[in-house]
Amino acid sequence: MNDDLNGVIVIDKPANITSAKVVAIVKKLFGAGKVGHAGTLDPEATGVLLCCINKATKIARFFLTGSKKYEGVLHLGVETDTQDAAGKIISTSDELNFTEKTIQAVFKQFEGTIEQVPPAFSALKHKGVPLYKLARKGKAVIKPSRPVFISYNKIRKINMPFISFEVCCSSGTYIRTLCSDIGKKLGCGGHLKKLRRIESSGFTINEAVNLSELEQLFSTGAINDRIISMSDSLRNMPEYIADKFLTKKIKHGSILTTKEFMPRNTDNLKNFIKIIDTKNNLVAVLKFKKDINRYNYCCVFN
């Protein structure tokens, strides 16, 4: 078992495979003790899946809340029970004589903060049971709507009844629900035909390797070049370089206040701070608590 390799690898997930299966493949190839992903993709979806290896599983939560970018295809005039192409057709419509201006206007309505009802066929749980399991038994549970944020929702191409689009959104946004809601707003219904995640928490599809490439990298011994270190993977987190004395205090769990260190940019005190040593190794992630003037330990690495 290889417990010495720690970091993040960006996988280009293929279609018709679960995110959990990808994690299992990565774990077996690396011989890792632990592997986890940061943000599930539906089995039919492709694209960026962040896999955290060994100690990096401790920082996976910092990627879960990051924004996402997707490329998708909306199929108008056909509504399914799962809101995507894998579901059963529940209604159809031939009334698709929309102008481009009308379609653009409806897409524009789904930007900014919107309310979204999670799909009945999802991994969200009700009394400990995933919603999709209840829905398959004919016991669909509808969760209350919740706010999500869509930075932009751009139409790339219209070839009726298909609309290719790109969307940038907050974590927790269901793109198939977005497609279903746009279809309802137009009055014809619709579902998500195809989905590809092109960015997640700042990691792009250009950094990703597919599963075939992953095996080739192992065979040539070049796999380490694609592993992103834990410190480098926390790209948008302010950092503080600790000397040996501070590093020792952190590893012993000593109480830390602004007397021990003060980041150059005081705005950092409002956020998580990554502490690295002089060799760029991640020592800890801290968060400042202003009311008690001390840093709380989020995770520490020996």
Catalytic residues: 42
The DSSP code sequence of 36-100 is EESS---TT-EEEEEEEEGGGGGGTHHHHTS-EEEEEEEEETEEETTSBTTS-EEEE-------H
Bridge partners, residue 129, by sequence: 126
Checking DSSP bridges between strand 294-300 and strand 68-76, what pairing results, if any? Answer: unpaired
**Residue 87's closest CA among 193, 14, 206?**
193
Distances (CA, A) of 201 to 57, 129, 192, 260: 15, 28, 23, 31
Q: How many Cβ atoms from other residues are within 10 Å of residue 165's Cβ?
A: 21
Helix ranges, 187-210 (H):
none
**What contacts 260, CB < 8 A, 6 or more positions away?**
246, 249, 295
Task: Report the distance separating Cα 131 and Cα 243, nearest Å.
Answer: 49
Task: Report the distance separating Cα 123 and Cα 79, nearest Å.
Answer: 20
